[in-house]
C-alpha cells in the first residue's frame, strides 16, 4: 500500500501543511483502530484514507481523516492532498466528489495544478469568551465566535497581525476551552503583501499543538472577514512556522478554498491493512 506525504496550500516543498494520503484499492475501509494506528505512526496533523465508490452515485470516493489521536469530521488540507494524489497519478481528473462525515465535498483541479475545494460554510455564531481564554492565548480577544458542529473551533479575533504572530499559548489550558481548537485571527497589517488576513490554529485537544495551515478553519474565516471587508474573494495567510496561503471565495452556504500542493514523499506501507 502506497503512502504519500503531500505539502498543501503551498507550491514549495517543506512549507504549507503536510498530509498523509492512502488511496485504497478496496471497496471498504479497514477497521477504525488500524486507520488510527497508521495516522499515529505518520504523526502528521491529518492522514487521509480514500477508497473508490461504485459508479453512478452522488460521490466518487469515500474519504476519512485522522489526526494522530482521533478521527475528525472535516479537514481541508488533507482533502486537497488526496485530490492532488488522484490527479497526479492519473487516477482521476477534473472534479472529484468525496463522501465524508460532513457531507459531499468536491475538489476541482485546474490546468495550472491549483485545486479548489467546495466546502460547507461554517455557521458562525457570536460566543462569550470562556474563562481563561485570554490568559491561555496570552492576548485579549476583540470578539469570539463559535464555528458550528463540523468544525468545533473558537474563532478569536485579536487586535493586529503582530499579536497573532507573537502568540505563545498555554496549550494545556487551551485544550479545555473548545471542542476542537482555537483559531486566532487579525486583519493583515499590509494587504499589498498578498493576503487580507492572518490566522494561527491551535488544536491540542486532538493531538495537534499548532496546525501549519488549516483549510477547514477558512470556512469560518472566509465569512468572518468577508463581512468585515465587504468582499467575497479573499486570501488568508496562516502564519505558522511553515506558513501557507488559502484563497477563499464565499458562495453563501458554500465556501471555495483554493491552494496548491506538492508531493514530497512517496513510500510503501510494509504491513497489511
What's the pLDDT tens digit per position in 44-88?
999 999 999 999 999 999 999 999 999 999 999 999 999 999 999
Cα–Cα dist 184/161, whole Å: 10
Distance CA 66, CA 78 (A): 10
Q: How far is CA 19 from CA 44, 74, 213, 258, in A?
A: 6, 14, 11, 16
Mean local confidence (pLDDT), 2-27:
96
Closest listed residue to residue 74, CA positions, set 217, 178, 206, 193: 217
- Torsion of Cα atoms, 152 then 124 then 114 then 269, to 10°: 10
Distance CA 176, CA 247 (A): 30
- The predicted-structure confidence for 137-184, as pLDDT tens digits, reads as follows 999 999 999 998 888 899 999 999 999 999 999 999 999 887 889 999
State the catalytic residues.
46
Q: What is the pLDDT, as a whole number, of residue 37?
A: 96
What is the Cβ-side half-sphere exposure of residue 210, based on CA atoms within 13 angstroms? 18
User: What digits encode the pLDDT tens for the residues 216-257?
Assistant: 999 999 999 999 999 999 999 999 999 999 999 999 999 999
For residue 273, give the C-alpha cell.
Answer: 491493512
pLDDT at position 170: 95
pLDDT score for 179: 80
Grid cell, residue 130, equals 470562556
pLDDT exceeding 90 applies to what percent of the chain? 92
Contact predicate 183/154, CB 8 Å: yes
Q: Percentage of residues in the chain with pLDDT exceeding 70? A: 100
Residue 141, pLDDT score: 97
Only one residue has cell 468572518, namely 224
- 233, HSE (Cβ side, Cα atoms, 13 Å): 2
Q: How does the average pLDDT of the chain come out, rounded?
A: 95
- pLDDT attached to residue 79: 98
How confident is residue 105, by pLDDT bands cut at 50, 70 and 90? very high
pLDDT surpasses 80 at 195: yes
Amino acid at each position: 500500500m502506497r503512502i504519500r506525504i503531500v505539502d498543501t496550500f503551498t507550491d514549495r516543498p517543506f512549507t504549507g501543511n503536510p498530509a498523509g494520503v492512502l488511496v485504497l484499492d478496496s471497496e471498504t475501509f479497514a477497521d477504525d483502530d488500524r486507520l488510527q494506528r497508521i495516522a499515529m505512526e505518520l504523526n502528521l496533523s491529518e492522514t487521509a484514507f480514500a477508497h473508490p465508490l461504485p459508479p453512478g452515485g452522488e460521490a466518487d470516493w469515500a474519504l476519512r481523516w485522522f489526526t494522530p489521536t482521533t478521527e475528525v469530521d472535516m479537514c481541508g488540507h488533507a482533502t486537497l492532498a488526496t485530490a492532488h494524489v488522484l490527479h497526479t497519478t492519473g487516477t482521476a481528473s477534473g472534479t472529484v466528489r468525496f463522501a465524508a462525515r460532513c457531507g459531499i465535498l468536491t475538489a476541482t483541479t485546474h490546468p495550472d495544478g491549483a485545486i479548489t475545494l467546495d466546502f460547507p460554510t461554517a455557521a458562525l455564531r457570536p460566543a462569550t469568551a470562556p474563562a481563561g481564554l485570554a490568559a491561555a492565548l496570552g492576548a485579549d480577544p476583540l470578539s469570539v465566535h463559535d464555528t458550528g458542529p463540523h468544525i468545533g473551533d473558537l474563532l478569536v479575533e485579536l487586535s493586529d497581525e503582530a499579536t497573532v504572530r507573537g502568540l505563545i499559548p498555554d496549550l494545556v489550558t487551551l485544550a479545555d476551552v473548545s471542542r476542537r481548537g482555537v483559531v486566532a485571527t487579525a486583519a493583515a497589517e499590509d494587504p499589498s503583501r498578498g493576503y487580507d488576513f492572518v490566522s494561527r490554529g491551535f488544536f491540542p485537544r486532538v493531538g495537534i499543538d499548532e496546525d501549519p495551515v488549516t483549510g477547514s478553519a477558512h470556512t469560518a474565516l472566509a465569512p468572518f472577514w468577508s463581512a468585515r471587508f465587504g468582499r467575497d474573494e479573499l486570501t488568508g495567510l496562516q502564519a505558522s512556522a511553515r506558513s501557507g496561503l488559502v484563497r477563499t471565495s464565499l458562495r453563501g452556504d458554500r465556501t471555495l478554498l483554493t491552494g496548491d500542493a506538492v508531493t514530497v514523499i512517496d513510500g510503501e506501507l510494509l504491513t497489511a491493512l
